[in-house]
Amino acid sequence: MELKNPREVATLALSLLDLTNLRDDCDAQAIAALCERARTPFGTTAAICIWPRFVAQARGLLGAANAIRIATVVNFPSGDLSLAAVVQETEQAVADGADEIDLVMPYKAFLAGDEAAVSTMVSAVRAACPDACLKVILETGEIKDSGTVRRASELAIAAGADFIKTSTGKVAVNATLEAADIMLRVIRDSRKKVGFKPAGGISTVSEAELYLRLAETIMGPDWLMPSTFRFGASSLLDDIVAVISGTTPSRASTGY
């Protein structure tokens, strides 16, 4: 898709957005509001991304056959829960109606040299949600080193990730174009159908466009679709709607 103007960029970004509320103070009322926000006059977001404890409520609100998918997080945000706990969390989320699982890889163990911990956990969660979309969060702001980000991407893809995702949104440095560039090149070189999700800190259409154009450059113009590209954000939706409608955005607080 050739992106010609801000309105086209905003319309595409809307279709790729995982509208997120992973705030510590999230409650049932906030989830109901999030489900409503995901339906805009210009179309729906790709998904909502919420805490596991709200999945059943969201499924009840959205219904069984809805265009808006339900994503939830496991091993989140610390990345250091036990394998058994993460598998149980995943199985419960799927039973409650989750379509997508965003798994924080055990990045602290990985940074300590334990690559097997990443492979084991991703593989186990993959087995626990065979029909769900599995997005593996690398936490690139904590990994930092480009070679290490590349290796984490390779391990996640080899173990069965459907997407690799930059960040939890809960650390000092979240999505960056530098990390995106590395991760997209690993996806390209893998020759597998794996998607990419930058998350945390992307709040305007102009910022989103930088990621979209980078992905186009590396992966080609026909690659930008919900099955291969997502944004993890909350306040981005306000700017998307403002750009499409030609109004001034009212800033929402971050969904992280």
Tell whether the model's pLDDT for residue 106 goes beyond 70.
yes
Which structure tokens are listed for 4? Answer: 């010609």
**Domain 6-242 coded CATH 3.40.30.10:** no
Q: How confident is the model at residue 1 (pLDDT cuts 50, 70, 90)?
A: low
Better pLDDT: 247 or 72: 72
Of 99, 197, 238, 239, which is the active-site residue? 197
Tell whether the model's pLDDT for residue 252 goes beyond 90.
no
Q: How confident is the model at residue 248 (pLDDT cuts 50, 70, 90)?
A: confident
Tell whether the model's pLDDT for residue 69 goes beyond 60.
yes
Q: Could you identify the residue written with the tokens 């010609």?
A: 4
Q: Virtual CA dihedral for 207, 235, 222, 154, nearest 10 degrees?
A: 80
CA distances from 158 to 14, 73, 112, 113, 123 (A): 30, 20, 20, 17, 9
Of 102, 162, 238, 239, which is the active-site residue? 102
Share of the chain above pLDDT 90, in %: 92
| Total-model pTM | 0.96
Nearest-angstrom CA–CA distance, 215 and 153: 16
Q: How confident is the model at residue 188 (pLDDT cuts 50, 70, 90)?
A: very high
* pLDDT for res 2: 65
The reply to whether 193 belongs to the active site is no
* pLDDT for res 255: 72
Q: How confident is the model at residue 165 (pLDDT cuts 50, 70, 90)?
A: very high
Q: Could you identify the residue written with the tokens 């339906």?
A: 39
CA distances from 45 to 48, 72, 141, 193 (A): 7, 15, 26, 22
Each residue of 192-223: pLDDT tens digit? 999 999 999 999 999 999 999 999 999 998 99
Tell whether the model's pLDDT for residue 251 goes beyond 90.
no
Mean pLDDT of the 64-81 span: 94
The reply to whether 4 belongs to the active site is no
The reply to whether 114 belongs to the active site is no
Of 96, 162, 165, 239, which is the active-site residue? 165
Domain borders along the chain are 6-242
Question: What's the mean pLDDT when you consider all of the chain?
Answer: 95
> Could you tell me if residue 246 is left (phi over 0), alpha (psi between -120 and 50 degrees) or otherwise beta?
left
